[in-house]
Every structure is written in structure tokens, then in C-alpha cells.
Amino acid sequence: MTAVVDDVRGGRPGGAAQPLLAFDQVTRFYQAPGKAPFHALGPVSFELQPGEFFSVVGPSGCGKSTLLDVAAGLSPPSQGSIRFDGQPVLDGVPDGVALVFQEDACFPWLNVFDNAAFAARHGGVPEAEVRRRVEHALAFMGLSSFARGYPAQLSGGMRQRVCLARAMVQRPRLMLLDEPFGALDQQTRLLMGDEVLKLWRDTGSTVMLITHSIDEAVMLSDRIGIMSARPGVFIDVVSTGWRCDRDSTITADPRFGELQSFIWTRLRGESLKALEQRP
Amino acid sequence: MTRAGWWRVALVSGAVLLLEAASRWGWINPVSFIPPSKMAAAAVHILTSGQFSRDIALTLGAGAAAALLAAVFGFLGGLVLHKLPRVLRVLNPLLLSYYAVPIFVVYPMFIVLFGINRWPLIAIGFVFAVVAMAVNTLNGLQRIPRVLLRTARVARLSAAQELRLVTIPASLPYLFTGVKLVIVYAFIAVIAGEFVLSGEGIGHQIAFAYNNFDNPTMYGLMLLLLVFVGSLNTVLHAVEQRLYQRRVLREAAT
């Protein structure tokens, strides 16, 4: 299949010389007291070019979320190095990085407006600018009429849109999405996928999506990294070749099915291994 | 008021009327249990005469001081223990069995340490209440959804900002439960301490009236205490309802 590339550098035509995010032989071990080190990830090396939409799929427990935590600076690598915009990522989230989690990360005591404003407001952005950005983000996400409402009054999909709006207000150069639609039903997932693609085009951010859904990865991404069973390493990187103005209607494209089948063929063996690894 | 609220009022009013009738018509001994109307009259007299104003002020002052100290130090203790999981593992069984120990046995020791003044009462109130606050603070901190703390890290909050903007609001229901317990425990301990060994305060005056068969004064003071505790609980309940409103809505939606 021509979609498969044999290296893990950014594959966009005319890609920039300097990657936005670069992993170099990154490994992550976890050490519990009195137990042998748990090898969760790596070694992993890859690069993300500015403006790229990159997804990571892999079997359960392969280290996808660990990869994202390490990329975000929420968890330091045991070995290897990560560079964001040329600067090393140490312990702490670099400026210009936003995250959206699978779990509901809305603060229940803040209304929708204040939830969306949270990161920017406490990140030193002037209040007038925060208000302008939040109004734009809520309008973009179709949440303007809920600005004074509380998360309790919203559906799961709407709460996730509030979290996306919060990330959007930060104006990140890199948006890390950790299975953000995992808790939603299939139809809402497709629609949320459209929202994310709109957000990606509108902001020009680079996106790294962690997902266990092959469909989601194929629909949203420029490139898809396929991970092995734990300890996760990339066994393939697939370029989808989609146009930037794509949306969920590409699921009807014959190539969508081909990509899906190819990825599942590569993943199946790894998923079986992952099943055997379970205690 | 809700239907349950009206039923509650009716139940309490019915019980008071029954006691009034039982005492007035001699179903129970009217000397040892005076009618509630006479208790109320005695309570009004106590307030208007100013006879026990100093005792009331001393008890309320000692209770408030003990509650404030217990709330502050209990919160800080819970926070420190949450940050030191190894120390918590050592202390946890002691904290959980704390209220199995009859803490009032240390009251004479406080009198020896601080002398016969208000401080032993504040100390017993503090000791009786502080662990309730620490345990509830710990409960609250341990139940903060991890994703909210990760969101705080993504927003690059400082430790002080994280505490103020995320940790305290997220654990507020538990902190509030701790504060409610602290107030109740502190006043119980202070009044009980006054009852046992003190020369002033509401507890002492109740004991004094009891020993001198001055039932109107004894019941009047007891009624005032009941009204005070009841009012305090009503205020705390109202504040708690406001705090929980959004969370209850949240639970209903999920």
C-alpha cells in the first residue's frame, strides 16, 4: 500500500525544516517500590511538523497515553529527549501546548465562560483579550447561549466542547488530545470529529490525537502512527493523503475503508499480544 | 418551604404541645419537667435580665475560638498529611480510631497545664474537633478528580494558585462537612468541660442550677443552647445547599 511511509518524520508536502515536536529514543519506565521496573513505552522516535494532524492508534495498554503525558511534560521520559519548538521538554507543560482529556475536565463550580477562560486567564493573557477569545471560541463551538450555564446543565458532548474551547482560547501551537471522545456515542463522536477538524483549520495548530478508534484516526488525520503492544513502539506510520477541508463525510470514500483495513491488519496481531499481556 | 419542612414543623410543634399538656395536667412531674412555655419565659428572662450574659459570652467565645483553631489547624494538618503519604500511612489507623478514645480524660491535664481559665476549655474543644477537620480535609483532597489536577498543571498554575483555584473548590463539600463537625464538636467539648469543672460559662450555670433545684434557670439555659445550636445548623445547612446546588445538578445530569 502506498499510504505507508517507512520513517516517522513529518510527511506533509513542503514540510518545514524544524519540527514542532521531536521525540528522540524516548523510553518510559515506571518503578513501584519493591517491584521490577515496568517498561511502558519506547524507545520511540518521531517528529511532528507544524500544522500537521497526527493520530496514534494502538492496542489497550500499549503506552499511548504515556506517550502523550511525556509529550506534554506531565511525566518525564526515563531515557531519550523531547524537543518542542526546538526547546527541550523537561518537567512541566511548555508554553504553547494545550491538552484535552477523555474525562470531563470542566470545573463544576465555574460557568461555561469561566471554564473556557480558565487556562488563558491564569496564564497571563489580559482580561479583555481573554473575553474576546472566549466569545469567539464559544461561538465557534456553538456554546454562546450556554456561556452563563454550568457544566451540570450540559450533555457529555457539550462539556467536551467546553474543554475544546478552553484549549482553543489558549491559542496553542500544539494541541494534545487524549481520547477526547472516548466517552461519547458514535454519532456524537463523528460530529465532534468535525468540530475538531474545524478547530484545527481555524487555529492552524498542530494536533496529536491519541485514540483507540481506527475510524476516528483515519477520518481526522494526515498521518497515523500505529503502535505495538506494550512497551509501545511505532510499527508503522500511515499517510492518509486527505485534503485539509475534509469532514466526516469522507467515511464514505472507498479509500477510507482501505486505510481502515490496512491499519487493522497491522494492529490485529498487536492487539492479540496485548490481550495475552493482561494479568 | 417544602412539604417535608411543613411536616417537620408540625412534628416539633406537636411534641412541644404534648409536653406542655403533659406537664400542666400532671401526666409527668411538673417540678422536674417544667412546661415548655415556662422554659421559654425563663430563657427570655435570662436574655433580658443580663444575669448570664457574661457566661453566654464566655461559652460562645471559647467555642468559637476552639472551632476556629480546629478548622485552621485541621485543614493544614490534612493538607500536610496529603502531601506526605508515608506519614499518612503511619498515622491513618490512629486518626481513624481517634474518637474511640475518651478525650475528656485529658481535660484535667489541660487544667494543670493552662490553669483554671478559658484556655483548658478552648484546648479540649480544639482537641475534640481538630481531627474531624483533618480527616474530612484528607477525604476531600483524596477525592479530587485527577483530571482537574492535570488541567491545573496544563494551565501552568503555581502551587498556591492550584490550591486556591482547584484544590479548595474541588474539595469544598468535604471541607464544609469538616467545618460543620468542628463547630458541633467544639461547642460540645466546651460546654461539657464547663459542666465538669469550671467556675463560669453556660455549662457551669446549667450544672449549678441543676444542683440547686433551680429548674426554670436550668431549662431556660438548655433551651437557649438548643435554639443557638438549631439556628447555627439552619444557617450552615442553607450555606451548604447553596454550595451543593451546582453539584447536585451535575449528578442529576450524569
Radius of gyration of chain A (CA): 19
On whether both A201 and A143 belong to a single domain, the answer is no
A interface test, pick of B89, B144, B151 with most A CB neighbours within 10 Å? B151
Residue A265, in any domain of the structure: yes
- CB-nearest to B246 from A74, A119, A150 is A150
Residue A101, in any domain of the structure: no
Q: Which structural domain, as residue segments, surrounds residue A182?
A: 4-96+172-277
Residue B123, in any domain of the structure: yes
Residue A220 CA: distances (Å) to CA of A17, A183, A203, A215, B72: 24, 18, 15, 9, 51
On whether both A30 and A87 belong to a single domain, the answer is yes
Mean of the per-residue pLDDT values for chain B? 88
- pLDDT at position B237 is 82
Cα distance from B206 to chain A (closest Cα, Å)? 45
- pLDDT at position A6 is 41
Pairing mode of beta strands A174-178, A97-100? parallel
Q: What is the mean pLDDT of residues B63-70?
A: 95
- pLDDT at position A90 is 80
Place A13 in a pLDDT band, splitting at 50, 70 and 90. Answer: very low
Residue B165 and residue A122 in contact, taking contact as beta carbons nearer than 8 Å: yes
Residue B69, in any domain of the structure: yes
On whether both A43 and A33 belong to a single domain, the answer is yes
Q: Distance between CA A198 and CA A169 in Å, rounded? A: 14
Chain A interface includes B247 (CB < 8 A) = yes
Give the tens place of pLDDT for each residue, A89-148.
887 888 889 999 888 899 998 999 999 999 998 888 899 999 999 998 898 888 889 999
Residue B4, in any domain of the structure: no
Residue A171 and residue A119 in contact, taking contact as beta carbons nearer than 8 Å: no
Residue B11, in any domain of the structure: no
Give the tens place of pLDDT for each residue, B82-139.
989 889 889 888 888 888 888 888 888 888 888 888 899 999 999 999 999 999 999 9
- pLDDT at position B252 is 45
Of A124, A156, A171, which marks where a domain is finished?
Answer: A171
Residue B13, in any domain of the structure: no
Give the tens place of pLDDT for each residue, B160-185.
999 999 999 899 888 988 999 999 99
Answer whether B172 sits within 8 Å of A119, measured CB to CB: no
C-beta atoms surrounding B35 within 10 Å: 19
**Which CATH number do you get for residue B129?**
1.10.3720.10
- CB-nearest to A105 from B151, B157, B249 is B151
Number of domains in chain A: 2
Give the tens place of pLDDT for each residue, A239-254.
998 888 888 888 888 8
- pLDDT at position B220 is 94
Helix and strand numbers, DSSP H then E, in chain A: 7, 11
Is the predicted pLDDT of residue B247 greater than 70, yes or no?
A: no
Answer whether A74 sits within 8 Å of B150, measured CB to CB: yes
Place B145 in a pLDDT band, splitting at 50, 70 and 90. Answer: very high
Chain B interface includes A99 (CB < 8 A) = yes
On whether both A71 and A207 belong to a single domain, the answer is yes
Q: What is the mean pLDDT of residues A205-222?
A: 91
Answer whether B148 sits within 8 Å of A99, measured CB to CB: no
Better-scored residue on pLDDT, A274 or B151: B151
ipTM of this predicted structure: 0.83
Number of domains in chain B: 1
Residue A15, in any domain of the structure: yes
On whether both A83 and A194 belong to a single domain, the answer is yes
Give the tens place of pLDDT for each residue, A60-77.
888 888 898 899 888 889
On whether both A193 and A264 belong to a single domain, the answer is yes
Q: What is the mean pLDDT of residues B147-163?
A: 90
- pLDDT at position A187 is 80
Q: Distance between CA B110 and CA B119 in Å, rounded? A: 8
Q: Distance between CA B199 and CA B190 in Å, rounded? A: 13
**Which CATH number do you get for residue A86?**
3.40.50.300
Answer whether A107 sits within 8 Å of B154, measured CB to CB: no
On whether both A86 and A177 belong to a single domain, the answer is yes
Residue B212, in any domain of the structure: yes
What is the three-class DSSP state of A35? Answer: coil
Is the predicted pLDDT of residue B21 greater than 90, yes or no?
A: yes
Is the predicted pLDDT of residue A275 greater than 90, yes or no?
A: no
On whether both A267 and A182 belong to a single domain, the answer is yes
On whether both A134 and A190 belong to a single domain, the answer is no
Of A171, A192, A227, which marks where a domain is finished?
Answer: A171
- Which string of DSSP letters, residue by residue, matches A180-201? TTTTS-HHHHHHHHHHHHHHHH
Is the predicted pLDDT of residue A44 greater than 80, yes or no?
A: yes
Residue A92, in any domain of the structure: yes
Is the predicted pLDDT of residue A1 greater than 50, yes or no?
A: no
Give the tens place of pLDDT for each residue, B184-217.
999 999 999 998 877 889 999 999 999 998 999 9
Cα distance from A104 to chain B (closest Cα, Å)? 8
On whether both A156 and A121 belong to a single domain, the answer is yes
On whether both A165 and A261 belong to a single domain, the answer is no
A72 to chain B: which residues are within 8 Å by CB? Answer: 154
On whether both A157 and A187 belong to a single domain, the answer is no
- pLDDT at position B245 is 67
- pLDDT at position A279 is 65
Of A131, A150, A171, which marks where a domain is finished?
Answer: A171
What kind and span of H or E run contains B51?
Answer: none
Q: Which structural domain, as residue segments, surrounds residue B53?
A: 34-253
